[in-house]
Structure 1
Amino acid sequence: MLATLLSAAPHAPAQAATARTAPDDAMARFRALVQPQGKARVTAAVLDLDGTGREPVVYGDDSPYDTASIVKVDILAAALLQAQNAGHDLTAQERARATAMIERSDNAATNAMWRRIGLAPGLEAANKRLGLTSTKGGPGARWGLTQTTASDQIRLLRAVFDTAPAARATPTALDESSRTYIRTLMARVVGEQAWGVSVASGSGWALKNGWLQRSTTGLWDVNSIGQVTTRGHRYLVAVLSDGSTSMKDGVALVERAARAAVSSATAH
């Protein structure tokens, strides 16, 4: 299956939009509102899908973070690309695993799907076609240690959510059926996992969150990616963080960052 993915590329890869750093005044407001504590750090990226600009704005240092479970969206995208290339849909078993992986963040289902796509090499082959440029798959079975940047997560979200008119839409290797499938699952995450970027939404959201306590430090990686709708516009939002002393603190940090980043975007 990996060989199929590498050799068959009937669609153009997604364009890798160049991220731009938030202006100094916006960055200052962001930092004042977010205020990471101790060793914690956070980066947020936002793209207004219904605006005129096509580059995400990044708040913070756009450096690599562990994905934790947000990589599950990327894994599903890779599996769907492989199925497209083979000329068939996901099997019933694969669809059941995909549902568990996204809606409930089930790790056993993710382990199976990670093996199915060919581990890190399969993920990275798919990401070349999706336009991701700064994501490196985790070693061996450790998909949660995949490294990514906030701007790369916006590229992934654009491949799934960007439905702008064809003249300015981002080309993507995912067909419309695959895009709709991923969006649907991300809109159905279980209630106890509906935190994160959803706090910045006014009338709708679809998301995937990730959380991981690092055994080497005891500190937490907490991330959230997705689409939110507020004030009549759809925004893609990716918030990555690490170094929090507890998951609760990490969630609070991510939510402050999501609110601050989207608030700044809606002010323009």
Structure 2
Amino acid sequence: CAVASDRQYDAASIAKVMIMEGVLRRAEGLRRGLTRWELANVRPMITRSDNASAVRLWTDLGRGYLSRFLSRAGTSRTVLGPKGYFGLTRTTADDQMRLLDVLTDARSFLKTRGYGLRLLTEVRGDQRWGVPSGMPRGLTAHVKNGWLPRATHGWRVHSVGAFTGPARTYRIVVLTHDNPTMAYGVRTIERIAQAVHRGLARGRGLPPTPDPATTVSERSDGSAPYGPLPGWDEPEQGATP
């Protein structure tokens, strides 16, 4: 099921999943494992949302390679951010589902998807809010979030996750902006996630998590600056630059 799944949003730190997948796919194409340098950057980029590591990998992969990877993944409305601003990549819920599918589909072209899924289970505790809220017992959550305030459209607060278990696998993507605070966005996402988990688990979802107003920082994920970028016109809502 989907609502406005083709609407574009600034990706913020969920773009790091795309970067990770690009690194894994490039290594496979070269018929090698990840280098020591790649390992030293991929892990902190995912598990603690380290921006310096993300910029290094984004730059190393290059826009050409990332564009080809997105095409291979089947995305149609994801547009890479300008220069080094990976957090200003424009994306949709549909495309984020396709990128999660790269990690969860046994027929995926990404053979090292298990490593990527494992990293998403190791995201540190204070960044595991969002779509895992209300997850039934017996499932494992693989999650990545983004939280970015800007001068237009307020807080972008996003959560993408895959949920795997012995009996089933499913994915949830919630992208939002125009949130007055980060906590408001987190609360919105978690209420949606609780309803989805409850429906899929026939009412056996876990109790809601604590009120995010008391547990969520109002600090940006730092994936893009607050104001406009010099020499770059911000795209209109839903427009492709």
Normalised by the size of structure 2, how large is the TM-score? 0.77
Residue 67 of structure 1 and its aligned partner are, at CA, apart by 0.8
1:71 aligns to 2:6 (yes or no): no
Residue in 2 that maps onto 1:144: 87
CA distance in 2, matches of 1:200, 1:235: 14
Residues 16-95 of structure 1: pairs in structure 2 closer than 5 A: 57-95=1-39
Residue in 1 that maps onto 2:142: 206
Alignment partner of 2:177: what SS?
strand
Amino acid at match of 1:161: T
Residue in 2 that maps onto 1:123: 66
Alignment partner of 1:174: what SS?
coil
Q: 1:235 aligns with which of 170, 182, 194?
A: 170
Could you list the per-position Cα deviations for residues 14-57 of structure 1 after superposition, in whole angstroms to 9, with x for gaps in the alignment?
xxxxxxxxxxxxxxxxxxxxxxxxxxxxxxxxxxxxxxxxxxx2
Amino acid at match of 1:245: P
Residue 152 of structure 1 and its aligned partner are, at CA, apart by 1.1
Residue in 1 that maps onto 2:222: none
Residue 231 of structure 1 and its aligned partner are, at CA, apart by 10
Alignment partner of 2:156: what SS?
strand
CA distance in 2, matches of 1:256, 1:232: 24
Residue 59 of structure 1 and its aligned partner are, at CA, apart by 2.7
Residues 202 and 230, structure 1, Cα contact 8 Å, conserved in 2: no
The size of the alignment, in residue pairs, is 201
Q: 2:76 aligns with which of 133, 149, 161?
A: 133
Alignment partner of 1:198: what SS?
coil
Alignment partner of 1:238: what SS?
strand
CA distance in 2, matches of 1:181, 1:155: 18
The one of the two structures with greater contact order (alpha-carbon pairs below 8 A, sep at least 6) is 1
Q: 2:120 aligns with which of 186, 189, 196?
A: 186
CA distance in 2, matches of 1:209, 1:221: 10
Q: Please identify, of 128-137 and 96-105, the stretch whose mean Cα deviation from structure 2 is larger.
A: 128-137
Residues 200 and 230, structure 1, Cα contact 8 Å, conserved in 2: no
Alignment partner of 2:33: what SS?
coil
The change in CA–CA distance for 1:136 and 1:66 in structure 2 (over 3 A counts) is: same
Residues 5 and 92, structure 2, Cα contact 8 Å, conserved in 1: no
CA distance in 2, matches of 1:148, 1:266: 29
Residues 161 and 171, structure 2, Cα contact 8 Å, conserved in 1: yes
The change in CA–CA distance for 1:173 and 1:230 in structure 2 (over 3 A counts) is: closer
Residue in 2 that maps onto 1:254: 189
Normalised by the size of structure 1, how large is the TM-score? 0.70
CA distance in 2, matches of 1:154, 1:61: 10
CA distance in 1, matches of 2:146, 2:23: 19
Could you list the per-position Cα deviations for residues 109-144 of structure 1 after superposition, in whole angstroms to 9, with x for gaps in the alignment?
00101001103x322210111222221111111100
Alignment partner of 1:99: what SS?
helix
CA distance in 2, matches of 1:112, 1:80: 15
Residues 206 and 226, structure 1, Cα contact 8 Å, conserved in 2: yes
> For structure 1, which runs of at least 5 residues remain unmatched after alignment?
1-56, 164-170
Over the matched positions of the two proteins, sequence identity in percent amounts to: 37
Name the structure with the higher helix share. Answer: 1
> For structure 2, which runs of at least 5 residues remain unmatched after alignment?
203-241
Residue in 2 that maps onto 1:24: none
